[in-house]
Each structure stands twice: as structure tokens, then as C-alpha cells.
Amino acid sequence: MLTRPLRSACGSVILSMFLVVGAYAAEPTPITLSEALDMVFEQNTSHALFLWEQELSEKREVLDKHPQITAKIDPAGIANGTLEKPSGSLTMTMPLGRNFDLRGMVTLGFEGNQMAVKPSGSLNLDYEFFGLPENIGVTLSPEESRQIQANSLVLETVDLLIQLRQQIDLRDYEENRLSYLEATLEAARHTPNYDDFTLRQALRDQVSVLAAADERLN
């Protein structure tokens, strides 16, 4: 859905648009721009898919920041004729930023006949002091991506509604012109010796123009 700043901006634009509800609607139903935007955000499948992808991206980022735990077990065995006792280790890595992380390790083994536990920790810095900086592009956060997507959808919707308003006004103009030609032709028929050929031709042309305008709206 729209964020609060977008809703405030859209609510301030009081444009009354007319959309035909149903293919055989006798009268167009007026809706406001805010209502049209609500319909677009609720019914636009591409926008819904985009939001779903952004939600997955956010969850992926959260998982990347979680500690990573790795376990390793070496069972008992014989190597070079010598009996190797079992051992194992448990490593936990905590990402702290782009170039460094904190790592802790616990190693389990045997020293003689007793089990030995050896904890250790390290701070790993993946950075080259004398190397050239990486060419890292600008990465938008999921919230910024949603904001850009919402703004784009709002602008597209407003543009389409303005075009629709223009087409409706044009259709109304052509309809009024047809009525004018019909009235003019009717008056010409009551005028003695008046050649109405040009009017009848203009009337036929206007019927075609009005039909084309209706087809564009439907």
C-alpha cells in the first residue's frame, strides 16, 4: 500500500475521474484519484509480486546477519598404523559488517585418557590496507525500493487517468458535434431548395468519428 507521505500527496489532488463499470454500464461511475490508486495497489499483480520479492529479500538479509554455526567431527580411526582418537569442533561466526566478523571455536579431543576442551576466538578482518577500494554499486534497501515502486505506480496511474479524462472529454465533444450536425440537417430539410449533401456527408463522417472515440474508451 501507499506510505503516509504518498497518501497525503494523493489525497490533496482532488480530481474526479470517470470509469465505466461493466461493459454495458449506462452511466459512467465517478471515482476519485485516491480510490483509483487504492484499486491499482490492491489489484495490480505485478506490484503484489514485487512486494513478495521484497519481503523475501528482507528475510534473506536478516538470515545473513544471524550467527553461522558449523560442526565438524572426526571419528576414531587408524592413520599410518596409529590409532587416532575421535575429535570434533564447533565454530560460531557472527557477521559484524561488510569486511569483518567475530569467530569463536570450541575444540573437543583427547589428551591421554582425558577429554580436553579448547576454546578460542578471533576477529577476522577481510580488508586490504593498500588495495584499491571495491567498486560497490549503490544498493537500495527494501523500503527504498518499495518507495520507488510505489511512486512509479502512482505516476503511471495518474497519467492513465489524465489520458482517460482527455478521451472522455473528446468523446463528449464528438457527441455534441454529432447532435449539432443532426439539428443542422433537420433545419436544412425545412429550408426550400437547400442542398444538404455536404451536411449529410459530414454527419456520416461524424458518426464514424464518434464510434472510434467510443471504441478507444471501451
pLDDT tens string 7-25? 433 433 334 444 433 333 4
Identify the pLDDT of residue 34: 80
Answer yes or no: is 152 within a domain: no
Answer yes or no: is 158 within a domain: no
Around Cβ 48, how many Cβ atoms within 10 Å?
12
Q: Which pLDDT band holds residue 125 (cuts at 50, 70, 90)? A: low
In 3-state terms the chain splits into helix, strand, coil percentages (rounded to 5) of 50, 25, 25
Give ∠ CA 192-208-161 in degrees, rounded to 5.
130
Range of the domain at 192: 167-218
Radius of gyration of the chain (CA): 37
Answer yes or no: is 57 within a domain: yes
Q: Which of 12-16, 32-36, 72-76, 178-182 has the highest mean predicted lDDT (pLDDT)?
A: 178-182
pTM here is 0.48
Answer yes or no: is 46 within a domain: yes
Answer yes or no: is 39 within a domain: yes
Answer yes or no: is 191 within a domain: yes
The x, y and z cell numbers of residue 42, run together, are: 490492491
Which amino acid is present at 204? R
Give ∠ CA 119-123-128 in degrees, rounded to 5.
145
> Cell 489520458, residue?
163
Identify the pLDDT of residue 9: 38
Answer yes or no: is 59 within a domain: yes
Number of domains forming the structure of the chain? 3
Answer yes or no: is 175 within a domain: yes
How far apart are alpha carbons 213 and 173 in whole angstroms?
A: 10
* Residues linked to residue 124 through DSSP beta bridges, in sequence order: 101
> Closest Cα to residue 169, out of 7, 9, 15, 52?
15
Identify the pLDDT of residue 20: 39
